[in-house]
Amino acid sequence: MLKISRLRNGPSTGDHFLLFVMLTEITDKGRNAATLSFVRNHPDKSMKNLLLFVLFLTAQVVLAQTPPVGVQLYSFRNQFAKDVPGTMAKVRDMGIKYVELAGTYGMPVPEFMKMLKDHGITAIGGSADFAKLDKDPMGVVNDNKPFGVQYVTCFWIPHNGNDFTIDDAKKAVEVFNRAGKLLADNGLKLTYHNHGYEFRPYENGTLFDYIAKNLDPRYCNFEMDVFWVKHPGQEPVALLKKYPNRFPLVHLKDRKPGTPGNQDGRADVETNVPLGQGDIGIAEFMKVAGQYGVKYMFIEDESSRSMEQVPQSLAFLRTVK
């Protein structure tokens, strides 16, 4: 760090070099560009003022820290089916503080919520069936309000077999905008979770592009499943940057290297591997997620090894700087 006392006497060549190193270390391409713009537009400003500007940028970086990581409880569906309290205790023991819900496994909602509270776990997201969003959106509100969640996610757009079309996309846009407004009016945020079939070509882009450009971000945004971005041939980081602030939620899931992809929305769940051991690029994604509007990330491991793999995934995430 440069000393202010030295700045009063004017910056040395070494000071300029140190400032350049600071800029390189604390900023990404966009913030570097902002700093260069500041220098060009304020050539008369002192080194001290420039340093203050750099410190402002540093604060922005700090504020864009990695979002909190929780777990999608569907990962432990097989364990919950046999022992709800015991499985929730294991989730707590992993250090999980935030979850997405996948039902209550037969427990009354008040009991289930008390169990979460007793374990220090907060429910962030619930779910909604597409048909119910279409026909009974107020029912979706009533289903999710008792859980105290912020987000409600739809995980699948109905379509004929593997044939997802522009008509299906248009129907989804209409339903999500209409239902999303009602949810927003009742304090809930609607998101749609991609599943791969949305990335089929359409005009100069994909069907996902059509959906993203036509959804009203006031009423519906997205939960990015990074597996289901990579599997149909896209790149999670590139998609995040293409649509900043449209992915408040993320599913973290890694894919066994060599797994053939498709655009059908289907894959063998046993191709899910611990984070950092697959070909998704989890570390690179984690480093930029907070800068592009991600609020919460949830590990979702659908394999039969989830109870063993989720702790490995958490350990890997602690190594990502």
Nearest alpha-carbon partner for 69 in 94, 102, 88, 103: 94
Q: What is the pLDDT of residue 54?
A: 54
State pTM to two decimals. 0.82
Burial class (CB in 10 A: 0-12, 13-18, 19+), 301: buried
Residues 6+ apart with CB under 8 A from 191: 125, 151, 152, 153, 154, 220, 221, 222, 223, 248, 249
Q: What is the DSSP letter of 204?
A: T
Q: What is the pLDDT of residue 250?
A: 98
9-23 burial: b if 16+ Cβ within 10 Å, else e: eebeeebeeebeebb
Domain 69-317 in CATH: superfamily?
A: Divalent-metal-dependent TIM barrel enzymes (3.20.20.150)
d(CA 305, CA 293): 31
pLDDT tens by residue, the chain, 321 residues: 333 333 334 444 444 433 333 433 444 444 454 544 544 555 555 555 655 655 555 545 444 588 999 999 999 999 999 999 999 999 999 999 999 999 999 999 999 999 999 999 999 999 999 999 999 999 999 999 999 999 999 999 999 999 999 999 999 999 999 999 999 999 999 999 999 999 999 999 999 999 999 999 999 999 999 999 999 999 999 999 999 999 999 999 999 999 999 999 999 999 999 999 999 999 999 999 999 999 999 999 999 999 999 999 999 999 998
Look up residue 171 and give its two tokens.
């129907």
Question: For residues 228 and 255, is the Cβ–Cβ distance under 8 A?
Answer: no
Q: What is the pLDDT of residue 40?
A: 56
114-144 burial: b if 16+ Cβ within 10 Å, else e: ebbeebebebbbbbbbbeebbeebeebbebb
